[in-house]
Amino acid sequence: MSFPDGFLWGAGTSAYQIEGHHGRGESVWDEFCRRPGAIEGGGDGSRACDSYLRWREDIELIKELGLRAYRFSTGWSRVMPGGDRPDPKALDHYERFVDALLEAGVEPVLTLNHWDMPAGLTWAERSSVNAFRTYAEAVAGRLADRVTWWITQNEPWIIALLGYQLGLHAPGVADLGTAVKAGHHVLLGHGAAADVLHAHPGTKAGAALSLFPCDPATDSEEDRAAAIGSDGYVNRWYLDPLLGGSGYPADMREHWERALGHGLDFVHDGDEAAIGGRSDFLGINYYTRRVMAAAPPAPFPWKVVGPSGDVARTDEGWEINPGALRDLLIGLSRRFPGTPLMITENGGVFGDGPTHDGQIHDNRRVAYLRDHVEAVGAAIDAGADVRGYLHWSLMDNFEWALGYRPRFGLVHVDYASGARTVKDSGRYYARLIAGGGTAPALPRIEAFG
């Protein structure tokens, strides 16, 4: 494998998941967490990893792991506590943080919207696009002179699906029509923010999409059609307007009009032109694939059935399939030539905790890292233009509706004390980075001393 010079080896977090409250404005997630039963275990982001106060300690961890890039988000509800005017103290904080990253030789990868929308705003309303533009102007005005890589929106499909279609994430709306409209407004927000960023020379703007390769459960014509439909719903509905040059895919337009019983009147003339042609790169959040079978037509003529047979899985039950990541990267590079790709999230839930020696021997995450980095390397060797790999996540954190149970981190966090402990996977990743992406042999546990 040959990773290019300047390849961005890093990890990521988001503001609401790690920072804690500490002067932040009310967000839609603060409201959602107060709903009885909304969060597994009843937790919220009021303390999380306390990173707003412990940010210097976190930068020391980043340096210890040898990360060359760090993805983080500026808290939207922190910067714009009322949704309309910026708080200079919040911008001061993020300015200090970015300067410290740069001083440590770490490339900042800044996410504007990682879901912590200020309370009182909603993606169901078109006015959210203007609010997001104002927020982007405030952050870019302070940081665009030293941050190159900007992620406008994190996972538009997940925002629409879990936040507005199923009601499992903030703001907890469960309405299919509202979900499709909200997803459109999120993409319009990308276009608006990208225009703001491109007024600052040298910035690169892109959205981070949660991409799930969709495979048919069998070779039947029906299951193949189900996989194509699922791909349209999950992937192409967002990829095509961002990168395809011709707006939303026609087959999915027809699907939504059929499912909703009316036209997509919220897509105004000029909207698709305001979304497309503004992405300097594509962020890819990859966790697993979807194995699809045909289903009765309403509202979706497909269903997820999962892989057959005994497959490797994370503790959350997600199939571990690095080969699907390799094929995804190759396919995207061929479909959208000239668009650089960046892995903005990739990771798994492995619940290993401290053992008798106080260390965390998360051998399965070590193997997961090795295999997925090898998959990225194979895609690069096949011609994919991949600029970076940002593992999710730097540290264990608040995992949205799942609370604090799932652990994604390279660093273990004891939530009672806030103590950080680098896991074996973090030390392995440090060695991998130092070797330029050459994955060292999986060592015995004691080799991580």
Q: 310 lies in a domain? A: yes
Please tell me the total number of residues recorded for the chain in this structure. Answer: 449
Q: 391 lies in a domain? A: yes
Q: 345 lies in a domain? A: yes
- The number of domains in the chain is 1
pLDDT tens digit sequence for 244-279: 999 999 999 999 999 999 999 999 999 999 999 999
pLDDT for the residue numbered 443:
55
Burial class (CB in 10 A: 0-12, 13-18, 19+), 21: buried
Neighbours of 340 (CB within 10 A): 17
**CA-CA distance, 324 to 312, in Å (whole number)?**
13
Q: 3 lies in a domain? A: no
Q: 2 lies in a domain? A: no
Residues whose CB is less than 8 angstroms from the CB of residue 260 and which lie 6 or more positions away in sequence, other chains included: 176, 177, 180
pLDDT tens digit sequence for 134-169: 999 999 999 999 999 999 999 999 999 999 999 999
| Residue 444 confidence (pLDDT) above 80 | no
Question: Which residue range forms the structural domain that includes residue 303?
Answer: 8-448
CATH number at residue 204: 3.20.20.80
For 135-164, give one letter per residue: b (16+ CB within 10 A) or e.
bbbbbbebbbeebebbbbbbbbbbbbbbbb
Handedness of CA 159, 164, 168, 170 (dihedral sign): positive
Question: What H or E segment, with its residue span, contains residue 422?
Answer: strand 420-422
Q: 33 lies in a domain? A: yes
pLDDT tens digit sequence for 75-113: 999 999 999 999 999 999 999 999 999 999 999 999 999
Query: What would you report as the CA-atom Rg of the chain, rounded to the nearest whole angstrom?
Result: 21
Q: 15 lies in a domain? A: yes
pLDDT for the residue numbered 409:
98
pLDDT for the residue numbered 1:
63
Q: 1 lies in a domain? A: no
Average pLDDT, stretch 114-119? 98
Active site residues: 155, 345
